[in-house]
Chains A and B, each alone.
Chain A
Amino acid sequence: MKTKTGRKHLLGKVSMYGFLLVFLIISVFPFYWMFIGATNPSSSMFASPPTFIPGSHFMENLRNLDNNVGIWRVLFNSLFVAGLYVVLALAISTTAAYAFAKFSFKGRNVIFTVFLLSMMIPYQATLIPLFQMMANFNLLNTYFALIAPQLCYPFAIFLMRQNFLSFPTELLESARLDGAGEWRIFMQIVLPSMKPALAATSIFLFMFQWNNFMWPLIAIRTPDMYTFPVALSTLSGVSYTDYGQVMMGITIATVPILIFFLAMQKHFITGMLGSALK
């Protein structure tokens, strides 16, 4: 009897790990294939039998890609836009979230509900008026056009608000009794305890902007202003595609964010968990 349940247990365990292993391969293998592609000539991706080992074409693919889309310029654009965006959007969403979480004032619930509901409106419904607005003010093809429209990002406000809610209000009260100004309380007492939340929110904001595609595709007219995803999407040519270049491009677009994610994954995953729950 005992061995029978033991064997059943073992079988369950083996099938559980088997299932996870299959899923692990499916999740991770495409990343490996991306590295293989980036270091091999275009043709090797379609070789029979396939090559699973890194090749020697890394520099050549990089050079071709640079000749084609000017990757350093494009990389700078993406980093600059995403970096500046994170700083500004974080400041805006943090102050707004603090107001929602720690003050009671007229219109609070209405404004907060409107912000939340706006997340349900597909992004595409705002694209055309945004485009017209930028065109009217002659702001198409500028960094301003890339950064400004999504600075108020309701999801970030929501995420930060959840974290401020758990900040003890008594601490604020006693600081007020001591005569500290509201701004000073916020900057010197509240914010320093919010580092994990700020980290999680900035990762979200950075990823959103780094990976953003449709709006930059519309707002940007010249290759020197392309962001990385837009430059990538121009690579698959109508008649001939150099897949070595494509794979190199994907690698450059993915590796920084992958490293960033792996370094920050603790904050990131807790940040996600928090947002889904409360």
Chain B
Amino acid sequence: MNRSKATPYVFLAPAVILFLLFTAYPIVASIVLSFQKFEGGSYVFTGFDNYIRLIHDSIFQTALVNTFIIFILQVPFMLLLSMILANVLNSQLLRLKGFFRVSFFLPAVTSLVAYSLLFSVLLQDNGLINELITNFGMSAIPWLTDGTWAKISIVLAMTWRWTGYNMIIYLAALQNIPHEMYEAAKMDGAGKIRQFFSITIPSLKPVILFTGILSTIGTLQLFDEPFNLTGGGPANSTMTLGLYIYENGFEYFDFNYASAVAYVVVMLVAVLSIIQFKVTGDK
């Protein structure tokens, strides 16, 4: 009896120890760091100084605004697109479903660094995309050298990488909606679009919330793409919070300030997740 009582803890011990050491401790330690300053060889408490400094920091403000612009342009667009694709792939009339499903998922397999570099080649001023655009008689687009276009480039790249991933999640959820619901709606004379808004979207709510929160966390941490695609430029136009944490921490070695920025990201994730819970959650 005694032995079986200890069993679950034995099974759990390695995970818990590693969690405490490498996740829980760092989370707490970085809160502490964010309220400190390195002075005369040791850390001293300075209260909210780092956070007050953030309010007056124009690069931080730029990073915050950029992250939000990318978030607002990218997440709803991508989620809508993946939902449409999932719906089409769920259609009973469609052939080659498996082939399309795997092909659309392929981008999600590549590393963030690899695809960022691939896009940086495609989006050069004289790269393939501009070559195609000018062939259609339009003028070349300064994808990576203009502030606005650089943000759009990041949005497009991220959409390429993640749409198929979200599509698979929606597809799974769609397959769980009983087919009879659509049959019944059809009998009542509801068209395809009506069915989509009255059956599909409400049934998908929990999954939309799930993908929404995942994408929010991902976008607020955005680092690999701006680091490799644009380097945060031109003129900080693609500077993100993730990149700013890295710069402060590992280029200027200001661990305290970088920790404060990291905690702004933590708070934003929390706030945005709560908002999404309120909007999509059951009332």
Contacts and interface: CB of A to CB of B under 8 A. Distances in A.
Contact of A27 (B104, B113, B118, B131): B104
A95 B121 contact: no
Interface string A244-259: 0011011001100110
A121 B89 CA distance: 33
Interface in B1-31: 3-5, 7-9, 11-12, 14-16, 18-19, 22-27, 29-30
Interface stretch (A12-20, A58-66, A193-201): A12-20
B232 interface: no
A265 B171 CA distance: 15
Nearest to B88: A16
A218 B269 CA distance: 23
Contacts of B127: 45-46
B13 to A, nearest CB: 9
Contacts of B109: 207, 254, 257-258, 261
A254 B115 CA distance: 9
Interface string A102-136: 01010010010011001011111111111111000
Contacts of B270: 120
A273 interface: yes
Interface in B66-115: 85, 88-89, 91, 93-94, 100-107, 109-115
A30 B122 contact: yes
Contacts of A50: 128, 131
A105 B5 contact: yes
Interface in A224-263: 228-229, 232-233, 235-236, 243, 246-247, 249-250, 253-254, 257-258, 261-262
B44 interface: no
B79 to A, nearest CB: 14
Contacts of A274: 172
- The CB with the most chain A CB atoms within 10 A, among B8, B106, B224, is that of B8
Interface string B112-138: 111101111110101110010000000
Contacts of A269: 101-102, 105, 168
Contacts of B246: 214, 217-218
Contact of B26 (A129, A207, A213, A265): A129
Contacts of A235: 117
Contact of B103 (A24, A48, A254, A277): A24
Interface in A84-100: 91-93, 95-96, 98-100
A254 B269 contact: no
A31 interface: yes
A152 B213 CA distance: 21
Contacts of B117: 232-233, 235-236, 246, 249-250
Contacts of A257: 109-111
A123 B160 CA distance: 23
Contact of A250 (B18, B118, B255): B118
B15 A92 contact: yes
Given A125-B266, A128-B33, A261-B109, A273 B102 contact: no
- The SS class assigned to the A binding surface is helix
Q: Which 9 A-B pairs have the closest CB atoms?
A: A211-B111, A96-B15, A126-B26, A273-B172, A129-B29, A103-B8, A129-B26, A152-B18, A99-B11
Given A250-B114, A269-B168, A277-B176, 8 more contacts: A23-B85, A30-B118, A99-B12, A122-B269, A125-B259, A125-B266, A152-B15, A249-B117
26 contacts: A27-B104, A93-B15, A98-B11, A111-B16, A118-B27, A121-B269, A122-B266, A125-B263, A126-B22, A127-B249, A128-B262, A151-B22, A152-B22, A152-B23, A157-B15, A211-B110, A213-B224, A218-B246, A229-B114, A232-B114, A257-B109, A258-B110, A265-B105, A272-B169, A276-B172, A276-B207
Interface of A: 13, 16, 19-20, 23-24, 26-28, 30-31, 33-34, 37, 45-46, 48-50, 91-93, 95-96, 98-100, 103, 105, 108, 111, 114-115, 118, 120-133, 148-152, 154, 157, 182, 186, 207, 210-211, 213-214, 217-218, 228-229, 232-233, 235-236, 243, 246-247, 249-250, 253-254, 257-258, 261-262, 265, 269, 272-274, 276-277
Interface of B: 3-5, 7-9, 11-12, 14-16, 18-19, 22-27, 29-30, 33, 85, 88-89, 91, 93-94, 100-107, 109-115, 117-122, 124, 126-128, 131, 160, 164, 168-169, 171-173, 175-176, 207, 210, 213, 217, 220-221, 223-224, 227-228, 242, 245-246, 249-250, 255, 258-259, 262-263, 265-266, 269-270, 273
